[in-house]
């Protein structure tokens, strides 16, 4: 199990508030309401959906410089140049 596994008994409708998989996969272009969501995609070998690119750019503007540096390092490790976003 990981962040992209739907919890066992939620209804067939999308549950963006309670299911991490739904929150990560079905959010609108403003990005998932899930702390550190880009890291969840990268850690699980998943491509960040194109609809989240602007949200990813906003994550890279965070005031949390440690988070931003970690995110940049993870992007680079996954052959994504943060400067090209």
Could you report the per-residue pLDDT of 50-63, keeping only the tens digit for each?
A: 999 999 999 999 99
The 10 Å Cβ neighbour count of residue 52 is 21
Q: CA 47 to CA 81: how far, in whole Å?
A: 14
3-state DSSP percent of the chain in helix, strand and coil, to 5? 45, 0, 55
pLDDT value at residue 4: 94
Could you report the per-residue pLDDT of 67-77, keeping only the tens digit for each?
A: 999 999 999 99
């Amino acid at each position: 199990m990981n962040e992209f596994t739907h919890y066992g008994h939620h209804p067939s409708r999308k549950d963006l508030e309670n299911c991490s998989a739904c929150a990560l996969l079905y959010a609108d272009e403003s990005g998932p309401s899930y702390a550190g969501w880009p890291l969840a995609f990268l850690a699980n070998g998943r491509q960040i959906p194109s609809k989240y690119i602007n949200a990813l750019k906003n994550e890279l503007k965070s005031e949390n410089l440690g988070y931003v540096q970690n995110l940049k390092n993870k992007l680079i490790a996954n052959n994504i140049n943060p400067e090209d976003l």
